[in-house]
Amino acid sequence: MTEKALKLKSVFLRKQILKYIYSAKAGHTGGSLSCIDILNVLYNSVLNVDPNDFKNSTRDRYIQSKGHCVEALFVTLADRGFFPESALETLCRYQSHYIGHPTRKINGVEQNTGALGHGLSISVGEAIAAKLDQKSHRIFTLLGDGELAEGSNWEAFLSASHYKLDNLYAILDYNKQQITGNNSEVMNMNSIKDKLESFGWAVREIDGHNLIQLETNLNSGSFRKGKPNFVIAHTIKGKGVSYMEGNLKWHHGVPSPDQYALALNELNEAEALI
């Protein structure tokens, strides 16, 4: 995709996130908006996945460890044709598989997530299996920064470098906020780069809303032979809607009709400038 097409896609996907959170009256708004550029680039420029042959064993894997931002994943998958968009009208409704977290009942979803701190270990397992089978597909995982406090991540960080998993890419949606407050107040993570490097990972730090930076780094191949890859993607929670940006209240939150209209206005304006 061209840069322009990717940019237009990001705005469209942001509108879709808001549309379905608004209609479901539930959702993780801020975190979905902070990671949507990452998902856009993954699904439209990076991942080798086929909506019509999802189970193909040569596919790249994307495991969303921060499962609460399922809206970002669902709208991206729908746009790529993994399922009809109309399915999202059932989001969070009785007997729908489209619930508030990713589940494998849905075409395109690799793993059931929602409890934080599980995705990376599963990804390590997938990456080891790929190495054992001498397959060349890659494994991508999206982590939240608050999520990093779960000790299981650090166990997985150790094993990924122990097994030299250079086919594994962990992407951190570094929006610096969680539910209670800023990471720095809740549980200080400084410095993530130093920590990961000392755990044997090859680390790159990028702007998680810069689509070209995302594309370049995620498509570059392994950063250092024999090392797992870590991308610190600096992001803004609620990105794209001024009153949501950096505002803790929007970790989960459903816009009122007025707020929804305001958000769409802003996104339409942004779209016109592309």
Partner 1 sequence: MGVDKIDLKKIKNGKANQIVFSETLEKLASKDRDIIVVTSDSRGSGKLVSFGENYPQQIVEVGIAEQNLVGVAAGLASAGKKTFAISPACFLTARALEQIKNDVCYSDNPVILVGISAGVSYGALGTTHHSLHDFAALRAFNNIIIVAPADNFETEQVVRLAATSKKPIYMRYGKKQMPLLNENNTSFELGKGRVISEGQDLTIIANGETVYPAYLATKKLEIEKGLKVTVVSMHTIKPLDTALIKKLASNGKPILTVEEHMVNGGLGEACASYLMQNGFTNPFKIMGIPDEYTVTGSQIEIFNHYGLSEEGIYNACIALNDRQNNTN
* Helical H segments across 96-150, by residue range: 119-132
Take residue 209 and report the two structure tokens written for it: 């809303």
- Residue 173 CB, nearest distance to partner 1 (Å)? 14
- Residue 25 CB, nearest distance to partner 1 (Å)? 10
For Mg ion, the closer of residues 144 and 228 by Cβ is: 144
Contacting residue, 102, 108, 117, 255, with ligand TPP by CB under 6 A: 117
Q: Are 170 and 228 in contact (CB under 8 A)?
A: yes
- Residue 111 CB, nearest distance to partner 1 (Å)? 11
CA atoms within 13 A on the CB side of 174: 20
- Residue 189 CB, nearest distance to Mg ion (Å)? 10
Take residue 242 and report the two structure tokens written for it: 């001024």
CB atoms within 10 A of CB 89: 13
- Residue 205 CB, nearest distance to ligand TPP (Å)? 17
Contacting residue, 144, 208, 228, 238, with ligand TPP by CB under 6 A: 144
For ligand TPP, the closer of residues 51 and 114 by Cβ is: 114
**What length is written for the chain?**
274
Quote the CA–CA distance of 265 and 274 in Å, as a whole number.
15
Helix axes 3-24, 211-218, angle to 10 degrees: 100
- Residue 107 CB, nearest distance to Mg ion (Å)? 28
Report the partner that residue 138 touches, choosing among Mg ion, partner 1, ligand TPP, none (CB closer than 5 to 8 A by kind): none
Q: Are 13 and 152 in contact (CB under 8 A)?
A: no
Which helix (H) or strand (E) is 6 found in, with range? helix 3-24
Between 125 and 144, how does the x/- string for binding to Mg ion read (CB under 5 A)?
Answer: -------------------x
Contacting residue, 10, 64, 121, 178, with ligand TPP by CB under 6 A: 178
The dihedral over CA atoms of 214, 216, 219, 224, expressed in degrees to the nearest 10, equals: -100
For partner 1, the closer of residues 94 and 134 by Cβ is: 94
| Subset of residues 12 to 51 that bind Mg ion, contact rule: CB under 5 A | none
Quote the CA–CA distance of 102 and 113 in Å, as a whole number.
6
Give the Å distances, CA to CA, from 271 to 38, 75, 260.
18, 18, 16
Between 183 and 222, how does the x/- string for binding to ligand TPP read (CB under 6 A)?
Answer: ----------------------------------------
Angle at 31 between CA 80 and CA 165, to 5 degrees: 70
Between 155 and 174, how does the x/- string for binding to ligand TPP read (CB under 6 A)?
Answer: ------------------x-
Take residue 70 and report the two structure tokens written for it: 């399922």
Between 144 and 183, how does the x/- string for binding to Mg ion read (CB under 5 A)?
Answer: xxx----------------------------x-xx-----
- Positions touching Mg ion (CB under 5 A) are 144-146, 175, 177-178
- Positions touching ligand TPP (CB under 6 A) are 28, 31, 34, 66, 68-69, 114-117, 144-147, 173, 175, 177-179, 237, 251
